[in-house]
Structure 1
Amino acid sequence: MAELVNSPLGTRPSLGGTPKRRASMKVLMRNVREVVLGNLCFETWYFSPYPDNIIKGSRAKPTDTAVQNLTTLGGDGIKQDGIVCERLYVCPLCFRYTPDEVNYAQHIMFHQEKQKFGELMPVPDSAEKVYEWDGYVVWEVDGEAEKLYCQNLSLFAKLFLEQKSVFFDTGGFRYYVLTYTAQGSKGRGRGRKRASSGVDEPLFKTQVLGFFSKEDLSWDNNNLACILVFPPYQHRQLGQLLMAVSYKLSGWEWEGGIIGGPEKPLSTMGRKAYLRFWSERIARFFMASIFEKTTKRKTGFAREEMTVKDIGDRTGMLAEDVIAALNDMGICDIKPAKRKQKISGENLDTKVINGHSDAEEFEPAKMVVSRAKVLLWIENHKVDLVAPAREEGFLGEWALSDASDEVEEAEDQSDA
């Protein structure tokens, strides 16, 4: 029987048993105890396939040649508790890494020198802004053009993600990196644990807070493959912001766009986060509908009847995600499908050919959404009626949909 050892993540079996079992257990156990990201020090959660020959060295250099090292993983330098590196220093800009504090400080000074000459960016130079609002910026980074950056970012992310499989083959992905620049704030963040790395505060006026990635070509129309808000910045609704950006980028709001969702299956925490996001998105949609109908009718309405497809089309969500959110919210009842009409023999043949053997056609079931239940759900869950991603913040091609909508509205009004 495996001996149990204590772990910050719970109780885990020690590395006993067969070689095959020991190899599988190495994947489950952390290999880095804590990381220093910029001037923040915090514990890791999961294993990440950092090269052992780099992270267990006492005087290793920052990984300027990490592409070569990343392709030669191996070695059996794992301790009995799984920890190879007690503390790993990770650059908050390029995400290169070293276990040596002195080398880390020298690497940071390199970025500080670039900052003096106005050459410092929080993301690779090739990155493009897709969203900017109130100090928050989302940058699009091409995984093919910036392989080293995306590989290092993925390795860092794996320390906090249980389910992540893409680390090195980043060519078919886009990475959307969230940064924040404090607006006129010179003070240090409260409650942050500083690492003694000789890091000056000006380097962190712009911070990388998290990211999400998506495939360039997804056969399942996934709009997101992986998402992470770094632990020091969690519980600030930043995950909701990244999710909202991912839905905007799927392009469902204009002709030729697609309706998609996150890659499934979701982790337990991922499903919880997405249920909240989907539910809030639906709640905002119905609140906008309430306002619109109240304005036109000069009175409120008690309920709204819509099909799942209608709700999905209006919110840019997959039918399965709409159903999951509505079930979780408990704001509606189901109006059963009813017979539409008896169809003719010719139509019947067509139905049979298409796989429908019923002789009668049915209208789809409708969701009867209660206005009172929507308002109560919003109140109980303290929902901000302002969407996490502001439409005015989208840039470039992503801002074009708003302009086209305004043109269409103007044309409709002129026709009327």
Structure 2
Amino acid sequence: GGKKFVGQAAGRKLTRTQKRRLNEMNHVEVAPEDMFPIERLIEQEHEEKTKVKNVNTVEMGKYEMDCWYYSPYPEEFCSRQKLFVCEFCLKYMRKKKTLLRHRAKCPLSHPPGNEIYRQPLEPNAAPGAPTLAMFEVDGAKAGVYCQNLCLLSKLFLDHKTLYYDVEPFLFYVLCERDNDTPEGNYHLVGYFSKEKHSQESYNLACILTLPPYQRRGYGKFLIEFSYELSKREGRPGTPERPLSDLGQVSYRSYWSKVILRLLYEHKGKVTVSDVSRMTAITTDDVVTTLQSHNMLRYYRGNYLVSATTRALEDAVAAWCPETLTERNGKGAAGKR
């Protein structure tokens, strides 16, 4: 017969929220009539405005970046099809000479928040080699900066509606820090945002790595950092849904590596709740990941981890081969 969706009881009409969740789980486009009125308005406005990309390129720091999507910058700043953005305060301008004048007096050399992480210098690093630093920026305290960050990121994200309501969010801004001067400038690499108080245990709302820094492992670093924060909070977290195609790939890769590594280290003798507790990945995401690797069985109302030693070794070799190297005593130093 036809497809059956789990959770759809016979003869019971689904609420709009339940239907939307099922659609998200099964990657079904939500019809306009199934949206909440405010969502419908946002979607219509998004479709109308995003038909035309309004900025072609943006110059920021030493990079000139081609833009991919519409962003709701004020119209008067889009007439030249090129924006000039200060890489420290993210103020946007129409002319290069305005940017140069601004740079001479811009008070910032890093994001306006607390530096909560700095990567230790590698012993054999080249002199002056940059290191990573992470800043926690409060949307309620640095509203203009966070709004500018959202406007900038929208140039590279297809669907993002958070532009101005930044107060309920924290922004974790990743930078490369120059080490060739004592004070060091901090160059924006990417960020993720997170609701301060999420009822659904979301630990990440939006994530972006700027184009010049893509394909260098920074996306994985941002995802990993979001879970480290969840561990510190003492509760599992999950990213907001729906995920983009790239987001799905990135998260599936992260979940697989972390969970398979844990199973390998414990020889498969852990429960789903053990895995969730040790990784801060929600049980739903643990179950989905284990199902994708055929390492789960359902017994008397409970999910059980079920993997042979051979199957586990094969999966680890495919997803995180460095784990096997460490087990053999090579390169274990410095690894977690």
Fold-level match, TM-score > 0.5? yes
What is the distance in 2 between the residues matched to 1:104 and 1:146?
A: 21
- In the other structure, the counterpart of 1:46 is 69
Cα separation, partners in 2 of 1:128 and 1:182, compared to 1, 3 Å: same
Residue 277 of structure 1 aligns with which residue? Answer: 254
1:317 matched to 2:297? The reply is no
1:286 pairs with 2:282: no
How far apart are 1:305 and its partner, in Å? 4.4
Aligned pair in 2 of structure 1 residues 277, 147: CA closer, same or farther (>3 Å)?
A: same
The amino acid of 2:309's aligned partner reads R
The aligned residue for residue 123 of structure 1 is 111
3-state SS, counterpart of residue 208 of structure 2: strand
Q: What is the Cα deviation at residue 257 of structure 1?
A: 2.2
Contact 1:280 1:383 in 2 (8 A): no
How far apart in 2 are the matches of 1:154 and 1:383? 37
Matched to 1:278, the amino acid is W
Instruction: For 2:59 and 2:205, locate their aligned partners in 1 and report how far apart those are by CA, in whole Å.
Output: 26
Is 2:87 aligned against 1:104?
no
- Cα deviation, 1:336-392, whole Å, max 9, x if unaligned, reads 41xxxxxxxxxxxxxxxxxxxxxxxx3623121233333333333455559xxxxx9
Shift of 1:306: 3.8
Q: Which residue of 2 aligns with 1:295?
A: none
1:63-212 pair list within 5 angstroms: 85-111=80-106, 120-124=108-112, 127-134=113-120, 135-183=131-179, 205-212=185-192
What is the CA distance between 1:232 and its match in structure 2?
Answer: 0.6
Structure 2 letter corresponding to 1:282: I
Residue identity matched to 1:259? P
Contact 1:34-1:43 at 8 Å conserved across structures: yes
For 2:87, the aligned partner's letter is P
Aligned to 1:332: 295
Number of the residue aligned with 2:59: 36
Return 5+ residue gaps in structure 1 as ranges. 1-20, 57-84, 115-119, 187-201, 291-303, 338-361, 387-391, 393-416
For the structure 1 residues 181 and 371, does the alpha-carbon distance in structure 2 shift closer, same or farther, using more than 3 Å as the test?
Answer: farther
Q: Which amino acid aligns with 1:52?
A: E
Q: Note if 1:242 corresponds to 2:219.
A: no
- For 1:177 and 1:219, locate their aligned partners in 2 and report how far apart those are by CA, in whole Å: 23
1:176: how far off? 0.5
Number of paired residues? 273
Contact 2:88 2:186 in 1 (8 A): no
Instruction: Indicate conservation of the 8 Å contact 1:331/1:373, yes or no.
Output: no
1:214 Cα deviation from its structure 2 partner: 0.6
Cα distance change, pair 22–276 in 1 and its aligned pair in 2 (3 A) = closer
Aligned to 2:315: 377
Report if aligned partners of 1:35, 1:90 keep a CA contact under 8 Å in 2.
yes
Ranked by relative contact order (alpha carbons within 8 Å, sequence separation 6 or more), the top structure is: 1
Residues 1:258 and 2:235 aligned together:
yes
Give the distance between the partners of 1:244 and 1:286, measured in 2 at CA. Answer: 18
| Paired amino acid for 2:313 | L
Q: Secondary structure at the match of 2:171?
A: strand
Partner Cα separation in structure 2 for residue 23 and residue 224 of structure 1: 22
> How far has the Cα of 1:162 moved from its partner?
1.1
Identity score, percent: 31
Q: TM-score, normalised by structure 1?
A: 0.60
Matching residue's letter, 1:104? L
- Output the CA distance in 2 between the equivalents of 1:160 and 1:109: 28
The worse-fitting range, judged by mean Cα deviation, of 151-160 and 258-267 is: 258-267
Q: Does structure 2 retain, via aligned residues, the 8 Å contact 1:331–1:374?
A: no
Q: Tell me if the contact between 1:130 and 1:140 (Cα under 8 Å) persists in the aligned partners.
A: yes
Secondary structure of the structure 2 residue equivalent to 1:154: helix
Which amino acid in the other structure matches residue 274 of structure 1? Y
SS in 2 for 1:248: helix
Q: Where does structure 2 lack aligned partners over 5 or more consecutive residues?
A: 1-43, 121-130, 327-333
Is the 2:256–2:319 Cα contact (8 Å) retained in structure 1? no
TM-score normalised according to structure 2 size: 0.73
Rg (Cα) greater in structure = 1
Structure 2 residue 208 is matched with structure 1 residue 228: yes
Q: SS at 2:164's partner residue?
A: coil
